[in-house]
Amino acid sequence: ATLQSLAATSGATIRYSAAVGGVMPALETVNRARSSAPLRSISGVLNGTTNFILDQLANGTDFSDAVVAAQKNGYAERDPQADLNGTDIAQKLILLAHAAFDIPLSLILTQGIENLNPKDIREARENGRVTRFVAECRREAYGVVASVCPVELPFDHPLARVSGVENRLIVQSQNERTWEVCGRGAGRWPTTEAVMGDLFDLWRESAVGVEQECVA
Question: Over the chain, what HEC string results?
Answer: CHHHHHHHHHCCCCCCHHHCCCCCCHHHHHHHHHCCCCEEEEEEECCHHHHHHHHHHHCCCCHHHHHHHHHHCCCCCCCCHHHHCCHHHHHHHHHHHHHHHCCCCCCCEECCCCCCCHHHHHHHHHCCEEEEEEEEEEEECCEEEEEEEEEEEECCCHHHCCCCCEEEEEEEECCCCEEEEEEECCCHHHHHHHHHHHHHHHHHHHHHHHHHHHHC
**Contacts for 126 with CB less than 8 Å, ≥ 6 apart:** none
Active-site entry in 40, 92, 132, 184: 92
Q: Are 43 and 159 in contact (CB under 8 A)?
A: yes
Residue 119, number of CB atoms within 10 A of its CB: 10
Question: Is 92 considered catalytic here?
Answer: yes
Give yes or no for a contact between 30 and 72, defined as CB atoms under 8 angstroms apart. no
**Which sequence positions are flagged as catalytic?**
92
